[in-house]
Amino acid sequence: MGIGIDKAIIVENYLQATIYKMTDHYFEHSLAKIHYYKFGNGSKSMLSFHGYGMHGKQFKVLESVLGDDYTFYGFDLFFHKETRLVDQSIENVKKGITKKQFSDLIQAFCNYENIDRFSVIGYSMGTFYATTVVEELANRIAEFILISPSSIRPGNVIKFLSLNKIGNRFLERLTSSNKGLLRLLSLLRRVKVVDDIGYNILYKEIATPELRFSFYACLTFLRFWNTNEAHLVDVLNKNSIKSIFIFGKRDPMYPQHIADHLIPKIKDATKLVLDENHEMINHNFATELARLLK
């Protein structure tokens, strides 16, 4: 006797909604104590790098649609939540971290978790992490997914505040004052470098001295991670890495055209534009990404 249609739908919906228990962990390295979450139960691994002011849980929305295929490792990035550098002094922050140092940390993490081949996904600030991993460890990468890729076009203001010595000193002074960074943020909104949504996100992230230090540290510590686009295209093509670039149609911070010079050079690249603003890590995003990965 066959199963009824209504019961079949119930069973199907139950299977689609299968959620695996998320667990949190620490990985101790000579550079940092990394806090991360594991969710999903698939045979494929995906390292996940969140956006500024977020945390390692940001991509949990993918679990319901891809949790049977992937096990996700969602990191709290440097200067976020529970991840801490071994030396988090401002002097050490100013020294910065090289791409090689970070790739060594990721390789050590993969050895610790018994991960061989893996995919990477990054959103906004997290795209710097994802892109660095691909540039340095391309032979281990299966899929490369960038959402609102600031690593492709960080913007002149970010470059000035992070790479330029005068700009970085100016940023240090602003972040050590109570109102200086708020004034800069207001100026960036007036000249349309950030929209209202971006402004509100950043405003909440600079309310205390600790948060202002994190803002300074994020821009300063990662300043050596400029994307080498020629090298990136070369390793993506040589290693046949499936690449997906995702944009929000209403995202003024990282509009969809910023990678148009890059995507045609990549053999296996897809551009996806969602009817979203900058805050797009939601169910619609998860559904559309799953469609491309299935």
Q: What is the mean pLDDT of residues 272-276?
A: 97
Per-residue pLDDT of 6-23, as tens digits, reads 433 333 443 444 556 899
Categorise residue 214: left if φ over 0, alpha if ψ from -120 to 50, beta otherwise: alpha
**pLDDT of amino acid 19:** 59
Per-residue pLDDT of 38-61, as tens digits, reads 999 999 999 999 999 899 999 999
CA–CA gap between residue 277 and residue 251 (Å, rounded): 4
Q: What is the mean pLDDT of residues 146-163?
A: 91
Residue 217 has pLDDT above 60, yes or no: yes
CATH of region 30-154+233-293, choose from 3.40.50.620, 3.30.70.260, 2.60.120.10, 3.40.50.1820: 3.40.50.1820
Residue 256 has pLDDT above 50, yes or no: yes
CB 174 within 8 A of CB 235: no
46 vs 209 pLDDT, higher one: 46
**pLDDT of amino acid 116:** 97
CA–CA gap between residue 143 and residue 74 (Å, rounded): 16
Q: What is the mean pLDDT of residues 134-157?
A: 95
- The mean predicted confidence, pLDDT, of the chain is 90
3-state secondary structure of 4: coil
H or E, element range at 166: helix 165-176
Q: What is the mean pLDDT of residues 89-118?
A: 97
The structural domains of the chain, with segments of one domain joined by +, span 30-154+233-293
**pLDDT of amino acid 35:** 98
- Tell me what percent of the chain is helix, strand and coil, each rounded to the nearest 5: 45, 20, 35
Residue 124 has pLDDT above 60, yes or no: yes
Per-residue pLDDT of 155-194, as tens digits, reads 887 888 898 999 999 889 888 887 877 787 788 788 877 7
Task: For residue 266, give the nearest of 293, 243, 245, 292 by alpha carbon.
Answer: 243
